Amino acid sequence: MTNTTDPDQADRALKARHRAMWAQGDYPTVAAELIPELGGVLVEACGVRAGDRVLDVAAGTGNVAVPAALAGADVVACDLTPELLETGRALAERRGARLRWQEADAEDLPFDDAAFDTVLSCVGVMFAPHHQRAADELVRVCRPGGTVGLLSWTPEGFLGRMLATMKPYAPPPPPGAQPPPLWGDPQHVRELLGDRVTAVEAERRTVVVDRFATPEEFRAYFKERYGPTIAVYRSLADDPARAAALDRDLADLARAHGLGAEDGRTTMEWEYLLFTARRSD
């Protein structure tokens, strides 16, 4: 029998699942409680200034977009999940930040070529399933001489290891989808962007997370609030033995990264890659 599957229809279904995944749980709280400073780190690294035209791709609730707007930039925050944008609007209003919010797919941005001076993404575009498509869009909408700035979890860091720990328990990814933490590998990002960028700087850094007292508290927090974790556990709803195994693996992962050690340690360091480059003329 001939396979008549429509690739466009399959892609739309995939994006719908991604949109729903990030809408469930409470990602705004995760971003606000665990990594609030990372957006400012990226804004500073990219030298965002008043009057710059800035695009925050896969912006979520505006972890990058809001500090960029407060720096005086003309900012557009776009994301696939409208529920996150609604929360971001309210957060921006409370902080006195003025910017534009727009629903958009990172792999098919609805903006003109070379429309922005700076194109940013903080642990956002890394979750777009097709890395090359997303990278091509980042470059396309950045003007020649403009800046592309990315902050992504590394494969070796805690979040990268957490996603790898969940992967065997999750349904298999669709053909062509790539693991998010590859964006935390500088060689991978260099290959995606190729000779379209120059002045590349890539630095591994860590953010200190002190929200959790025990591995079990960490696990419960992510099971309740973090979309990818919620999605995996829902896929195991009819397999309690595998769900229990994932419980053990996540707690062991946190323990291996120092949480709940014999000395009572309650902090972890999560590694990320800070990557900046200038679009070639």
Q: How far apart are CA 9 and CA 178, in angstroms?
A: 19
State the pLDDT at residue 262.
65
Whether the per-residue pLDDT at 2 is higher than 50: the answer is no
Give the amino acid at 260: G
> What integer best gives the mean pLDDT of the chain?
95
Tell me the per-residue pLDDT of 76-110, one tens digit each, with 9 for 90 and over: 999 999 999 999 999 999 999 999 999 999 999 99
CA contacts within 13 A on the Cβ side of 143: 10
Q: What region does 257 belong to: left with phi over 0, alpha with psi -120 to 50, or beta? A: alpha
Q: Is the pLDDT score of 232 beyond 80?
A: yes
Domains of the chain and any CATH numbers: 8-209+269-279 (3.40.50.150)
Can you list the positions of beta strands (E) in 126-173? 142-153
Give the per-residue pLDDT at 263: 66
**Per-residue pLDDT tens digits for 155-187:** 999 999 999 999 999 999 988 999 999 999 999
Contact, 107 vs 133, CB < 8 A?
A: yes
Task: Indicate if the pLDDT at residue 24 is higher than 60.
Answer: yes
Confidence category of residue 3, pLDDT binned at 50, 70, 90:
very low
CA separation for the pair 13, 30 (Å, rounded): 26
The identity of residue 127, as a single letter, is F
Rounded distance, CA 113 to CA 109, Å? 10
Sort strands 53-57 and 74-79 into parallel, antiparallel or unpaired.
parallel
- In angstroms, rounded to a whole number, what is the distance separating the alpha carbons of residues 151 and 120? 8
- pLDDT at position 5 is 56
* Average of per-residue pLDDT across 55-60: 98
The contacts of residue 90 (CB under 8 Å, 6+ apart) are none
Mean pLDDT of 114-131: 98
- pLDDT more than 70, % of the chain: 96
2 or 89, greater pLDDT: 89
Segment among 10-19, 242-251, 271-280 with least mean pLDDT: 10-19
pLDDT exceeds cutoff 90 at 258: no
b/e for 193-202, b at 16 or more Cβ within 10 A?
Answer: beebbeeeeb
**Cβ-proximal residues to 197 (8 Å cutoff; 6+ apart), any chain:** 139, 148, 277, 278, 279, 280
Q: What is the pTM for the complete model shown? A: 0.94
Mean pLDDT, rounded, for 231-236? 98
Which pLDDT tens digit goes with each residue over 60-71?
999 999 999 999
